[in-house]
Structure 1
Amino acid sequence: MTLLADQWAGNSKHFWMRGEPPREPVVLDEASGIWHVYGYPEALEVLGDTGVYSSETARRFAPSGGEEFAEGNLFQLDPPDHRELRRLTAQAFTPRVVADLEPRVAEITHELIDRLQGRDGFDLVAELAYPLPIVVISELLGVPAGDYPLFKGWVDAMMAANGQYDPSDDPEKQAEDARPQLEASDRITDYLLEHTRERRKRGREDLLTRFVQAEVDGQRLTDHQIAKIGNLLLVAGHTTTAMLLANAVLCLDACPDQQALVRADRSLVPTMFEEVHRFMTPVSAVYRATGTDTELAGRHIPAERMVMVWCAAANRDARQFTDPHTFDVTRDPNPHLGFGRGIHFCIGAPLARLEGRVALDILLDRYPVLGLDPHRPPTFIPSHDLIGVQDLHVVAEPAEGRGGAR
């Protein structure tokens, strides 16, 4: 994976991308006071113990606006609040709802590729990886197609702000860098709040209406909770899937032998998608805060300390994965942490897997020859906790006629 190693050579935070193991599984950054968790079993311990490692980081470390940020945000809640909200969300966002999307995902993928006819090169991020998941989740939520450009503007602003934000900075700079991201997120929430209130009056056949109607043990979601959940699905769902699709093409290009295996045996597409999530994990780190003094890997961590769990590094831990720095599309089992673990396991994982499987299968059908443009190397998202490309220019040779997912 020379290309990937070269691209990340200057980013010390993602040292595992160069095949370098951490000096210890748990490391304290003396300057910031943040504890970094790199090991797989240590990551499992943190993600699985909500009593010690709290997800309510905003309330603890941003008291001026933390509670408002956390309300309805599944990422920021601990039990029992998280359990109740998750149950209500899961009642509307069911496996059947996701499975029924497969024909539409295939249709959108074909439509996006059809627009590229006559072109022997294009930016895969701009033309497919980004628009596919945002169209899918927008249609699922039930928001107008004409408003997609609004989402792109808001999400682009959030991603740009994410590139500036670093939790190791002093609190004043953190607040300054986070402000544009929070403002863009608020715009999305306000937009979805308006649509949620409209669904209270007139329901439709969409996910927002299902959230409005969801009820467990007499409890219902509030309008603000629905808007926050919709925000989470819209932003986290489509950005992660977009990065996974682009990362998959990047990995296959860097490993021609693995691409040949997948093209010869399309049943490997699902396991390939999981391996991309392990090998080039889009959301490389998640955050927790210690509620009590604790010990992890023999290190004493005091209460009220920020903990960064580097899932991307844990996914390269040789104690868990054989040949962890080898991209292997046949790897099975593959218990990666790309979708998280425990109570915060990604609720959108089934949708991401469906989109990835269908889109990648169709892409390989439609383009028997597909590779990176040697004259336009990819650029990576400037972020401390995301691993993905901003653009991915490819050269492509289309098949005759219109292929289809197998």
Structure 2
Amino acid sequence: METTTPTAVQKALLRGKNKQDPYDPFDWYANMRQTSPVHFDEASRTWSVFTYEEAKRVTIDKDTFSSQPPKDQRKHSLMKTMVMMDPPKHTRIRSIVSKAFTPRVMKLWEPRIQELMEELMAQIEGKNEIDLVQAISYPLPVIVIAELLGVPSEHKQSFKEWSDILVSMPKSEDEEDVAEWQKIRDQGEADMMAFFADIIERKRHNLGDDLISLLIQAEENGDRLSADELIPFCNLLLLAGNETTTNLISNMIFSLLEQPGAYEALVQSPELIPRAVEEAVRFRAPAPTIVRYVTEDTELGGKVLKKGDNVIVFLASANRDERQFSNAHEFDIHRHPNPHIGFGHGIHFCLGAPLARLEACTAIKALLDRYESLELLSYMPMTNSGMYGLKELKLRVTPRS
């Protein structure tokens, strides 16, 4: 019989979320950086890291801080992907799949992403009020990743539901809440794995120029990905390509509107769009945490971590560390250099970062070209999620005359 008890890391994350506003955790982060930058939760034997230098150390030191979860936590498919692996397994798989994410391959997608954005903008033509999440932030990335993978985009609602389920968290540590969450998660994951197993089998007999076909054919020294490796990786791509970029676009627009004059400044200086995207990743990181596992006793931030301890790195807090970033609590579209770690760091730096940047730049440029100004009407944060973003972002839009 399978247990429905949350893992130690999930318990620690739930406790942390209970202490913060879902879309404004930054005062809590600041307090933790000042009072307990490397904080230990005895009940779960989990450390939380809030400061930049310590966070960076954890992401770089792959020998001391492993990405691979304990065996009893490897049930779900995402636990079997390269983001949850150490070398040499990680090196092998990344060397194969990276062939499909070269700058040349990503550049080929730029015209299509621009075309999709134009189609989405046409659908809101003439409207004075829009929900940016439903109009742009959600459909653009999910259609792009569907076409990139070579799967029918008419399944995009299922893609969104599966993605939301996989990044969800229990409402609480209550046994009934956990059991319900586990049931929904297991079913969602089973449905998604069955979907990709069927797609992969079909493509083996009818290869195209899509990403799944490229991954089926990709080799490194004669080595190819097995079906057991391909299916979880497709799950990961769908999740990362959908959730991360959706939240990046929404978080960026929210931040531009929250900072007086920022949107108008970008209208006047669109060449700053790439910097604004990087600043959005720093300021409101879509993926706020990563998890590592201590392989040997070590010291971090003046504390002694024991072999077997869990570590949660709060990337979103590290990106606001006052010791690393001047005016860290300001959204600055001119910020350069911007050594944020919102896309991770080290060997696990986000493989899809160039695609996320391309989509975000394309989306904001289209909005700047079409609208003289945007006004924030209301917003609704995501809750019970391991990601950071908005379910709803309602805007009043003023077209250019």
Same fold (TM over 0.5): yes
2:170 equivalent among 164, 170, 188: 164
Deviations 1:159-195 (A, max 9, x none): 5xx14267xx599976763442343233222211211
Which residue in the other structure is 2:210 paired with? 206
CA–CA distance in structure 1, aligned partners of residues 29 and 89 of structure 2? 40
Secondary structure of 1:332's aligned partner? coil
The residue number in structure 2 matching 1:284 is 288
- Provide Cα deviations, 1:174-220, integer angstroms capped at 9, x if missing partner: 67634423432332222112111111111112111100110001100
Matches within 5 A, 1:112-191: 112-159=120-167, 162-164=168-170, 169=173, 177-191=181-195
- Pair 1:27-2:39 in alignment: yes
Return closer, same or farther for 1:323/1:233 CA change in 2, 3 Å cut-off: same
> CA 1:19–1:174 in structure 2 vs 1: closer, same or farther (change >3 Å)?
closer
Give 1:147 deviation, angstroms.
1.8
Deviations 1:215-261 (A, max 9, x none): 00110011231222121111112111110111111111111222222
Return the offset for 1:84: 0.2
Distance 2:71 2:302 in 1: 25
Counterpart of 1:70, as a letter, is M
Query: Any residues of structure 2 matched to 1:1-400 within 5 Å, and which?
Result: 11=20, 15-17=25-27, 20-22=30-32, 23-57=35-69, 59-62=70-73, 65=75, 70-71=79-80, 73-159=81-167, 162-164=168-170, 169=173, 177-373=181-377, 377-383=378-384, 385-399=386-400
Q: CA deviation at 1:36?
A: 0.3
Percent identity over paired residues: 35
Q: 1:384 to 1:136 in 2, by over 3 A?
A: closer
TM-score, normalization by structure 2: 0.89
Work out the CA distance in 2 between the residues paired with 1:135 and 1:245. Answer: 15
Give the secondary-structure state (helix, strand or coil) at the position aligned to 1:368: strand
Q: Distance in 1 between matches of 2:157 and 2:109?
A: 22
Q: CA deviation at 1:342?
A: 0.6
Distance 1:293 1:176, change over 3 A: farther
Q: How many Å separate the matches in 2 of 1:108 and 1:343?
A: 32
What CA distance in whole angstroms lies between the structure 1 residues aligned with 2:202 and 2:151? Answer: 11
Unaligned runs of 5+ in 1: 1-7, 401-406
- Pairs aligned (count): 382
TM-fit CA distance, 1:133: 0.4
Contact 2:19 2:28 (C-alpha < 8 Å) held by counterparts: no
Unaligned runs of 5+ in 2: 1-16
With over 3 angstroms needed to count, the CA separation of the structure-2 counterparts of 1:17 and 1:193, relative to structure 1, is farther
Q: Is the 8 A contact 1:193 1:224 kept in 2?
A: no
Cα pair 1:165 1:178 within 8 Å, conserved: no
Conserved? CA contact 2:78–2:235, under 8 Å: no
Deviation at 1:83, TM superposition (A): 0.4
Give the distance between the partners of 2:385 and 2:108, measured in 1 at CA. Answer: 36
Question: What one-letter code is carried by the residue in structure 2 that aligns with 1:343?
Answer: I
Per-residue CA distance 1:56-79 (angstroms, 9 max, x = gap): 12x34526x26x6533x0121111
- CA distance in structure 1 between the partners assigned to 2:155 and 2:385 by the alignment: 30
CA RMSD of aligned residues (A): 2.3
TM-score with structure 1 setting the length:
0.88
Superposed displacement of residue 21, structure 1: 3.7
CA contact (8 A) 1:289 1:304 kept: yes
> Residue 138 of structure 1 contacts residue 144 of structure 1 at CA under 8 Å; is this kept in 2?
yes
Q: Which stretch shows the higher mean deviation, 362-371 or 344-353?
A: 362-371
Instruction: Output the CA distance in 2 between the equivalents of 1:42 and 1:354.
Output: 30
Mapped contact 2:299–2:305 kept (Cα < 8 A): yes
Q: Which residue does the alignment assign to 2:14?
A: none
| Cα deviation code 1:323-342 (max 9, x no counterpart) | 11111110101111110001
Q: Name the CA shift for 1:84/1:165 in 2 (closer, same or farther; >3 Å).
A: farther
Return the alpha-carbon distance in structure 1 between the equivalents of residues 353 and 113 of structure 2. 15
- Structure 1 residue 120 displacement after superposition: 0.6
Displacement of 1:113 in angstroms is 1.1
SS in 2 for 1:11: coil
Using the alignment, how far apart are the partners of 1:394 and 1:30 within structure 2?
A: 44
How much does 1:262 deviate? Answer: 1.1
CA distance in 1: counterparts of 2:29 and 2:54, whole angstroms: 19
Matched residue type, 2:170: Q
Please give the alpha-carbon distance, in whole angstroms, between the structure 2 residues aligned to 1:346 and 1:179. Answer: 29
Q: Distance in 1 between matches of 2:159 and 2:28?
A: 34
Contact 1:311 1:337 in 2 (8 A): yes
Moved more, 383-392 or 202-211: 383-392
Query: Using the alignment, how far apart are the partners of 1:122 and 1:85 within structure 2?
Result: 41
Give, as a single letter, the amino acid of the residue that structure 2 aligns with 1:339: F
